[in-house]
């Protein structure tokens, strides 16, 4: 990053499940926020387009890196004021609104500074109500239930979201699961445990649509579309 961005590299923060202590090797992503002094130039973009796939070839674990290149002046408590370049699975992606209040709070409160100042010095403050509003917006989005593995991720996302709405704090899949097993109707527990097993790499029989059915039923019980 220093070689590519030079003096325009302000900070790199590692957050998500890693910073929360719930990282699952081989399953969890490394959630990163790269803060820059300004918008990426065309030359920056060209170098990053080459860099991410090259890094993936040299270090396959880098396929689990996921994050955003965010100009410092675009950061606000709700995320960013404009679309920003982001990366996932070894490639740079077109600008989009990827950050939300729960991401910012996570990075600010527990994020690990890999480069630059403490995230509390740089990132905007976020309230618990900001987090709740962001999570409610995500919950109403249509989930990806195209496969059983995708449905497993969506089930854990519902649990994580409900926990965040109650607490006003961002949380990990593992913490969301613990909260759900103590707080939601027991009829969803078996599917949630199975979803966690799938997230950790358990084999999936795509002819078995149990998780997809439970996802649809649980979301319907919450008044959410499937």
- pLDDT single digits (tens) 168-183: 999 999 999 999 999 9
Task: Look at residue 85 and give its three-state secondary structure.
Answer: strand
Q: Which of 123, 149, 169 is the last residue of a domain?
A: 123
The domain boundary residue, chosen from 74, 97, 123: 123
104 and 26: one domain?
A: yes
Do 103 and 199 share a domain, yes or no?
Answer: no
Give residue 27's pLDDT band: very low, low, confident or very high (50, 70, 90). confident
In a domain, 226, yes or no: no
Q: How far lies 46's CA from each of 10, 38, 55, in Å? A: 20, 16, 15
Same domain (yes/no): 29, 78: yes
Residue-level pLDDT at 218: 97
Q: Are 165 and 206 in the same domain?
A: yes
**Same domain for 100 and 151?**
no
> Which of the listed residues 123, 150, 185 is the one where a domain comes to its end?
123
Task: Look at residue 109 in the predicted model and tell me its pLDDT.
Answer: 95
137 and 191 both lie in a single domain: yes
Query: If you search the block for the tokens 């410092």, which residue do you land on?
Result: 72
Tell me the CA distances in angstroms from 93 to 67, 183, 224, one per residue in order: 10, 37, 29
Q: What is the chain's alpha carbon radius of gyration, rounded to the nearest angstrom?
A: 18
Q: Say what the pTM is.
A: 0.90
pLDDT value of position 203 = 94
Q: 114 and 34: one domain?
A: yes
Q: How many domains does the chain have?
A: 2
Does residue 206 register a pLDDT over 90? no
Are residues 147 and 115 both part of a single domain? no
Q: Are residues 102 and 135 in the same domain?
A: no
Of 115-129, 194-208, 209-223, give the lowest mean pLDDT range. 194-208
**DSSP class per residue in 6-63:** GGGEEEEEEEHHHHHT---TTTS-EEEEEEESSPPPHHHHHHHHHHHHHHHHH-GGGG
- Look up the CATH number of the domain holding residue 21: 3.30.460
Range(s) of the domain holding residue 136: 130-221
- Give mean pLDDT, residues 93-120: 97
Answer whether residue 24 shows pLDDT above 90.
Answer: no
């Amino acid at each position: 990053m220093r070689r590519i961005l030079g003096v325009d590299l302000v900070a790199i923060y590692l957050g998500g499940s890693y910073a929360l202590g719930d990282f699952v090797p081989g399953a969890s992503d490394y959630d990163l926020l790269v803060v820059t002094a300004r918008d990426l130039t065309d030359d920056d973009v060209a170098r990053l387009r080459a860099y991410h796939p090259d890094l993936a070839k040299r270090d396959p674990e880098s396929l689990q890196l996921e994050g955003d290149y965010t100009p410092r002046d675009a950061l606000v408590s709700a995320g960013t004021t404009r679309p920003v370049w982001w990366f996932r699975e070894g490639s740079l992606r077109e600008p989009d609104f990827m950050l939300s209040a729960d991401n910012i709070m996570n990075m600010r409160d527990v994020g690990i500074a890999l480069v630059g100042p403490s995230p509390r010095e740089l990132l905007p403050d976020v309230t618990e109500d900001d987090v709740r509003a962001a999570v409610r917006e995500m919950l109403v989005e249509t989930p990806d239930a195209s496969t059983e593995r995708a449905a497993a991720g969506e089930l854990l996302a519902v649990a994580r979201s409900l926990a965040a709405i109650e607490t006003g704090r961002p949380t990990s899949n593992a913490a969301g699961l613990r909260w759900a097993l103590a707080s939601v109707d027991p009829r969803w527990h078996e599917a949630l445990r199975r979803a966690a097993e799938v997230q950790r790499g358990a084999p999936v029989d795509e002819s078995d649509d149990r998780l997809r059915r439970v996802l649809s039923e649980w979301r319907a019980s919450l008044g959410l579309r499937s």
